Amino acid sequence: MNKPSFVYVTYIGTTPEKLWLALTDPQFTTQYWSGYRVDARGKAGDRMTALSPGGVCVHDDKILVSDPPRRLVYEWKSLNEEFKDERVSRVTFEIEPKKDQVKLTVTHDDFDIGSKMFPRISEGWPAVLSSLKSFLETGTALPRSDELHNAPQDEVSSFITMFGAQLKDPTRPFTLLVRFQIGEGMHEDAEAAFAKARELTLRENGVIAFELNREARNASRFVVYERWKSLAALEEHMRTPYITKLRRAFNEMIVGTPEFHVLTPAAE
């Protein structure tokens, strides 16, 4: 059985130089790659890095070939826990000038048979590259797609993107208020579940405050007051096993739709 390999060819109305910048410079990748900051500006032997919209490093891979504006090759190994057992694969970008346009060939190969990553990138690359084409030809990327990264957009990434859009500087401290209603007869269970998660949360380096409050005039209404050193700290928190467990428990107890409010200091 042959090892899986992904090949995608597209023609873009741009120049090789502009396409190279769009593929390597994070100033441009964030605009069409679903908010991910992909930086491949180095030479062979340097690192290609990718940061999530929340500032968490999701890739730190070796650049194998950097021949601007013709050929770029780098390794690909997701830092996502789901893919920890995957071997390093390889991505190759080949840029070929044509009349009034550029031919871009992307090859992602060197996968093991049965790779979990391969079906994900097979969905992800067409979405990324279609958005890249739109960005270079019209100045506007395509609307955010769930396939723009290693895996379909998960719940945490959706929240981080929503919160990050409200912050001028995601590296600075901010407050998050979450308001919700707990179903009848579940109040004590909710408080007990939160208490267990809070004990572990307060050990995190990025937390400033994490409290559960009950409204004085409505015993079924609760407010979680959270304060974080950065958006990246919140994302790391939301991906911990104990918070994943808490969210699942609360999903069974909450009535209606929770409200989320992002707050920053008035002086900013």
For residues 265 and 268, what is the distance between their CA atoms, to the nearest angstrom? Answer: 6
What's residue 260's pLDDT?
93
User: Can the peptide bond before residue 69 be classed as cis, meaning omega within 30 degrees of 0?
Assistant: yes
- pLDDT tier for residue 242 given thresholds of 50, 70 and 90: very high
Q: What mean pLDDT comes out for the span 144-167?
A: 67
For residues 42 and 152, what is the distance between their CA atoms, to the nearest angstrom? Answer: 29
Residue 1's SS3 state is: coil
Q: What mean pLDDT comes out for the span 112-129?
A: 92
What's residue 144's pLDDT?
64
For residue 91, what is the enclosing H or E element?
A: strand 89-98
Q: Do domains 6-138 and 155-263 have the same CATH topology?
A: no
pLDDT, averaged across the chain: 90
For residue 153, what is the enclosing H or E element?
A: none
Helices (H), the chain: 16-24, 26-32, 117-138, 155-164, 187-201, 231-238, 241-253
Q: What is 6-138's CATH topology?
A: Alpha-D-Glucose-1,6-Bisphosphate; Chain A, domain 4 (3.30.530)
Sketch the domain layout of the chain as residue ranges: 6-138, 155-263
Which CATH code for domain 155-263?
A: 3.30.70.100
- pLDDT tier for residue 209 given thresholds of 50, 70 and 90: very high
Cβ density class 229-263: b for 16+ within 10 Å, e for less = bbbbbbbbbbbeeebeebeebbeebbeeeeeeeee
Q: How far is CA 157 from CA 96, 115, 151, in A?
A: 35, 23, 10
